[in-house]
Amino acid sequence: MAEQFSFKAEIQQLLDILIHSLYTDREIFLRELISNASDALTRVQFESLTNSNLVDAGAELYIEITPDEEAGTLTISDSGIGMTREEMVENLGVIAHSGAKAFVQKLKEQQAAGGQDVIGQFGVGFYSVFMVADKVRVVSRSAHPEAQAFAWESNGSDTYTIEPSDRETRGTDIIITVKEDAKDFLKPWKLSDIVRRHSDYIAYPIYVGEPKEGEEQEAVNKQVAIWRQESKEVTDEQYDEFYKMLTFDWEKPVHHIHMRADVPLQFYALLYIPAGSEANPLMGRREPGLKLYARKVLIQDNTTELLPDYLNFVAGVVDSEDLPLSVSRETVQATRVMANLKKTITNKVLNELKRLQKNKPEVYHQIFEAFGRHIKQGVVVSPGEREDIEPLLMFPSTKTASADEWITLQQYVERMAENQTDIYYVIGDDYASATRSPHLDAFRQRGIEVLYFVDPVDPVLIMGLSEFSGHKLRAADEADIDLSNVGAVSADEEAPREALPEDQFTGVQERFKAVLGERVTDVKESKNLVGSPARLVTSDHNPTRNMFRINRLMDRDYELPVKALELNPRHPLIYNLSGKLAADPQNPIIDAVIEQVFETALLQDGIHPDPASMAARLYQLMQAATERSGWHDCRRMAARRL
């Protein structure tokens, strides 16, 4: 007696979309079913390593595709692990496939619009069969000896049935009654073609059609473990194709690393660097980790123990000859072999990145653009590997042409100015505003290069990067930087204006102190400012001093650091203020200017908590500046407003 069940609501939606899709690439249903069959084979192969009590213990592992034009059916069979009755309910009655879930979700969001074009970019899993099926019958017998065969059947409407069935051997048959407009899928040549295009690297033989009388049947797919081939035997297309099968990323990888090692460990690896940090946005993030095989047997899908976290953007396959086959998924981590594999593979990836940086700078640029943040994270969290990671870092600088033109720390050091021993950087919220930073005045004047640290993670980076090959890294806003002997002021630089006489400057300085109070730690005369009237400097050398920027980004609580204000005694604005003070110390424009100087300095460091709050004062200052009789009348005006 067949029992009837209802599909979960989300499956009904998915089925509805699939059945009514006019989708031209519906051949991918075959890829999905073959992939499921391959998984079932891998699972039984794995299980048989430790459990000899399985149905057909020694049976060949294969996939068979049998079209029957007369009956209008297509059958995909495998000798895999099979399913019990419970497993059928569990696996074929709910959406197991994360891709399918994301797909339904996406479709709900953008109802219909463009929906049909995206099916191919998903693995929608088993249900994709309903793009070509009027009816599907799944007959399966689990490999576990006491289990019985059952048949699951559905026409893709709201319900499915399950009934006892017979199948002598272990495994699964998916019997598809093909839709009228999908009869093409009953042609053996067409099926073979699809298999070769989408499933060539499946590790088990895929047979298409009945064997001819007296002939040994040949598998349609290559079944090679591509990573075990000589790299000169593999074409770029094959590498890319394999990557797509592996990751479902539709963009080509930027680079692949095909390696084979014999001593001290024997293993094969095929690694890829994806083009972007978000693989398929509809599929969600790819899970980090490599596929781990032991002598061609898949042990674990997302093995994160083979590369450090900061390289987890690398995708690929590792196949070891040294891991014991009896290794279980749980004990894999603990083996010494794993630690050695990790070391060797990590070195290889780092060396390869270095090589690209040198020989294929455009490729490396693309990689660093997508994954530079991962690499920076490595500097902070893997201090032991710092020396290998640091050369990979790149930054724009005051001597590069744009935000997208970067140099390495090594390049920086090689072209340091005369007598320069430290490496200078300026932190900013973005490149454009950092280029206008007042901290750069003196560096520019003396021809000293400064790196722009304008990536939001850079404040974290400097916690791990205090020096590079013997040179200290120093922020351009550190109060105690003395550049007087470093570099040289270029000859065509205009002779600087005289500094304001000491006693007059003190007057201005005292007024700033009085107005700003606790908002600054001190007000000092600057030795470094050239074209700017003021800047905020810090004497805090604690590497965590910029963490507030991260906290602010993440909407966490943070406190603005209180810094010292430096004034430029040569700047006309400071001269003017001094004049105003002498003429009438009560003139309210003086304090308004002081406030604005301070807030502008905050703004230039990207740490003004509320820039819009300056608007009222700015209007007031503009109004004063445009009064017909000049600054003198502003007192009356200001008295009204302040």
Chain residues that interact with ligand ADP, rule: CB under 6 A: 32, 36-37, 40, 78, 80-83, 91-92, 96-97, 125-126, 172
Strand partners, 6: 159
CB of 125 to ligand ADP, least distance (A): 3
CB of 63 to ligand ADP, least distance (A): 9
Distance CA 317, CA 448 (A): 46
Distance CA 104, CA 91 (A): 17
Q: Decide: 6 and 147 in contact? Cβ < 8 Å.
A: no
Residue 4 token pair: 């009837």
CB of 81 to ligand ADP, least distance (A): 6
CB of 374 to ligand ADP, least distance (A): 27
Q: Of 223 and 400, which CB lies nearer to ligand ADP in the complex structure?
A: 223
**Residue 149 burial (10 A CB sphere; 0-12, 13-18, 19+):** buried
Distance CA 572, CA 496 (A): 11
Distance CA 543, CA 550 (A): 13
Q: Of 36 and 66, which CB lies nearer to ligand ADP in the complex structure?
A: 36
CB of 332 to ligand ADP, least distance (A): 21
Q: Of 127 and 425, which CB lies nearer to ligand ADP in the complex structure?
A: 127
Q: CA dihedral in degrees (612, 616, 620, 621; nearest 10)?
A: -20
Q: Of 80 and 316, which CB lies nearer to ligand ADP in the complex structure?
A: 80
Distance CA 243, CA 525 (A): 61
Q: Of 135 and 552, which CB lies nearer to ligand ADP in the complex structure?
A: 135
Distance CA 498, CA 280 (A): 61
Q: Within a 10 A sphere around the Cβ of 383, how many other Cβ atoms?
A: 11
Q: Decide: 35 and 97 in contact? Cβ < 8 Å.
A: no
Q: Of 64 and 566, which CB lies nearer to ligand ADP in the complex structure?
A: 64
What residue number has its CB nearest to ligand ADP? 125
Q: Is the dihedral of CA 320, 325, 330, 332 positive or negative?
A: negative
Q: Of 141 and 258, which CB lies nearer to ligand ADP in the complex structure?
A: 141
Question: Nearest 5°: phi and psi at 586?
Answer: -85, -10
Q: Decide: 243 and 252 in contact? Cβ < 8 Å.
A: yes
Q: Of 78 and 449, which CB lies nearer to ligand ADP in the complex structure?
A: 78
Q: Is there a cis peptide before residue 264, judged by omega within 30 degrees of 0?
A: yes
CB of 270 to ligand ADP, least distance (A): 23
CB of 96 to ligand ADP, least distance (A): 4
Strand partners, 294: 297, 320
Helix, coil or strand: residue 280:
coil
Long-range contacts of 500-503 (CB under 8 A, 24+ apart): 500/569, 500/570, 500/574, 500/575, 500/578
Q: Of 37 and 299, which CB lies nearer to ligand ADP in the complex structure?
A: 37
CB of 80 to ligand ADP, least distance (A): 5
CB of 154 to ligand ADP, least distance (A): 13
Residue 66 token pair: 């049998």
Produce one character per residue of 563-575: b if its CB has 16 or more CB atoms within 10 Å, e if not. Answer: bebbbbbbbeebb
CB of 138 to ligand ADP, least distance (A): 8
Q: Of 81 and 323, which CB lies nearer to ligand ADP in the complex structure?
A: 81
Q: Of 79 and 546, which CB lies nearer to ligand ADP in the complex structure?
A: 79
CB of 328 to ligand ADP, least distance (A): 20
